[in-house]
A and B are shown apart, each in its own frame.
Chain A
């Protein structure tokens, strides 16, 4: 069975600094997708960034980037120039192709200190 592990229940970062959130996953599939979702206090799930497993290049979205290590089954999220609005729960998620659901990690709560 596929599993997603986020080993950091909580993290904190100073405003304008950089923070990295860790995620590892276990799968026997070769074709899959990885995601980071943000859940602020409103509880709306917001897509932060996505990565196709067949792409070697790490995905980047403005201040958010990932370090995708396929062989190590690692998918960390780096947030640069952290802002107060980045404070939220962050969930790492995985899915295979087709009409399949997401498998989520337990989440990391990120606090941003002014």
Chain B
């Protein structure tokens, strides 16, 4: 399948600091990427849709000023958690699809980033 990477895989930060998570499509171009959040033993919850060259679309209840999304190129979307607090500790996953592939309807996922805020 299409390859999506995330960096870092794990990050620990102090409360009040900002953390940037990168999502890259390695072998294809993605005009749209999606950011999900997953709490322990729960399902994936969509946070926002990242659109290349335009503003992200946030789901209801997700603070856009706290979770900044930038999709500056066709292969890179970044999620910045600003002024992180312990309740932001979670597993963050991005996904994208390759519209040029035969399975263009399929979303492929990055390996995820575990964020721990102390």
Contacts and interface: CB of A to CB of B under 8 A. Distances in A.
B52 to A, nearest CB: 10
How big is chain B's contact interface, by range?
20 to 34
Interface string B39-63: 0001110100100000000000000
Given A47-B108, A50-B106, A99-B31, A106 B43 contact: yes
B43 A91 contact: yes
14 contacts: A37-B109, A43-B111, A44-B112, A45-B93, A45-B112, A47-B1, A47-B106, A47-B108, A50-B105, A99-B32, A101-B46, A101-B95, A102-B34, A106-B43
Nearest to B49: A101
Interface of A: 33, 35, 37, 42-45, 47, 50, 52, 91, 95, 97, 99, 101-107
Given A47-B1, A97-B105, 14 more contacts: A33-B105, A43-B38, A43-B91, A43-B93, A43-B112, A45-B93, A50-B103, A50-B105, A91-B43, A91-B44, A101-B49, A102-B44, A103-B46, A106-B42
Nearest to B38: A43
A104 B44 contact: yes
A65 B43 CA distance: 22
B107 interface: yes
A42 to B, nearest CB: 7
